Amino acid sequence: MFIDTHAHLTDKAFAGREEEILQNAKDCLVEKVITSGFDLASSKEAIDFARKHDGVYASIGFYPEFVQDYTVETEEKLKNLAKDKKVVAIGEIGLQYTDGMPERELQKEVFLKQLNLVYQLEKPVVLHCRDAYGDMIKLLKGNKDLLVFGGTFHCFSGSHEIAIEAIKLGFYISIGGVSTFKNATNVREVLKNVPLERMLLETDCPYLAPHPYRGKINEPKYIPTIAENLAVLKGVDVETVAKITTENARRLFKI
């Protein structure tokens, strides 16, 4: 059995196909999926979707692009949403320093507010990080007391050194379709040295479909493809990858 620890099942790319997508996943032994929000509205949608489907759970929070919408009022609403039994994590939250994103200091301020929320709610955290690993690790190291419920670096693309720091802080490294891309040599080299006991599987669907499906709409049914590639990198069979990553996901998200 597999668990897709990060998906966006409420994305418009799946509109009208939700039941088909979930059946496709089950047919490929992907029995559980965590669907993620990125602001207040999408977090509500993720919870509503999870309530309607067995084996689907939700993570909720404010993605870096939408930190300007994070207020005292929205934080209270997020707290109330987190009480739902289908909510297993806060995320995806974090930092992204690419062009066009909100001012970095505001991103860091809201990130820390949400880390405090993680601690208050006793939930694991799902981290998003692009072009900001230095600041991310610095902030996490400076706030280790807020991280006692663990978390994961979603769609990890950092260096070997960053992976080591993340693991030292108690985080899992989540692996998606990027690890199968022909030009992702650096990512694969990092993964060779990360223990399976610190890894999770994800699709981040409908984005980043793995090779040989790159360019198509991604969906949870492709988790075994990601697992097979990881098995080759680690020199183990895919059953071992399935067993260990599933145990990791169950442990972290309590599902």
Residue 5 contacts residue 202 (beta carbons within 8 Å): yes
Number of Cβ atoms within 10 Å of the Cβ of 249: 25
- Chain-centroid distance, C-alpha 223: 13
pLDDT tens-place string over residues 71-125: 999 999 999 999 999 999 999 999 999 999 999 999 999 999 999 999 999 999 9
Number of Cβ atoms within 10 Å of the Cβ of 87: 22
What is the total residue count of the chain? 255
pLDDT of the residue at 197: 98
pLDDT of the residue at 121: 97
Average pLDDT over the chain, rounded to an integer: 97
Residue 187 contacts residue 157 (beta carbons within 8 Å): yes
pLDDT of the residue at 137: 98
Count of helices and strands (H, E) across the chain: 9, 8
- Which residue carries 């955290």 as its tokens? 125
Q: How confident is residue 44, by pLDDT bands cut at 50, 70 and 90?
A: very high
pLDDT tens-place string over residues 111-161: 999 999 999 999 999 999 999 999 999 999 999 999 999 999 999 999 999
pLDDT tens-place string over residues 186-231: 999 999 999 999 999 999 999 999 999 999 999 999 999 999 999 9
Domains of the chain listed by start with CATH number = 2-253 (3.20.20.140)
The C-alpha atoms of residue 195 and residue 27 are separated, in whole angstroms, by 28
